[in-house]
């Protein structure tokens, strides 16, 4: 019985990975979908490249088109570290929330 409860707990907690991660925010201007990356630039000229967007964001904003290029956004994102095919660490940035200031 205990093993069933443990398996159930692990299964349920695995569905909430985005909420358990640390998130960061930034304000930036959308530069476009360049080389399979979502590119934003902040007011200091810092260029931020995001590898992924959440499913919710991809249905709300069509970022692969030029529709939002030049628009300001408040970006909430997570950064994960993974190993590539050469066993080197790479950072994977994912946009989890995107808002346009009014």
Q: Whats the size of the chain, residue-wise?
A: 102
Q: Is residue 85 part of a domain?
A: yes
d(CA 46, CA 16): 31
Measure CA of the first residue to CA of the last residue in the chain; give whole Å.
53
Kindly state whether residue 26 falls inside one of the protein's structural domains. yes
Whole-angstrom Cα distance, residue 92 to residue 38?
12
Structural domain range at position 68:
22-99
Residue 47 lies in a domain: yes
pLDDT of 71-88, one tens digit each? 999 999 999 888 878 888
Q: How many domains are there within the chain? A: 1
Please give the Cα distance from 27 to 2 (Å, whole number): 47
* Domain-embedded: residue 6: no
**pLDDT exceeds cutoff 80 at 13:** no
CATH at residue 82: 2.40.50.500
Full-model pTM: 0.73
Residue 11 is assigned to a structural domain of this protein? no
């Amino acid at each position: 019985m205990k093993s069933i409860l443990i398996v159930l707990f692990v299964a349920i907690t695995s569905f909430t990975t985005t909420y358990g991660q640390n998130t960061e925010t930034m304000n930036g201007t959308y530069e476009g979908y360049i080389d399979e990356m979502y590119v934003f630039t902040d007011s200091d000229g810092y260029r931020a490249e995001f590898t992924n967007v959440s499913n919710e964001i991809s249905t709300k904003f069509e970022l692969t088109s030029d529709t939002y290029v030049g628009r300001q956004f408040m970006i909430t994102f997570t950064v994960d570290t993974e190993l590539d095919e050469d066993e080197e660490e790479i950072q994977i940035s994912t946009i989890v929330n995107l808002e346009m200031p009014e």
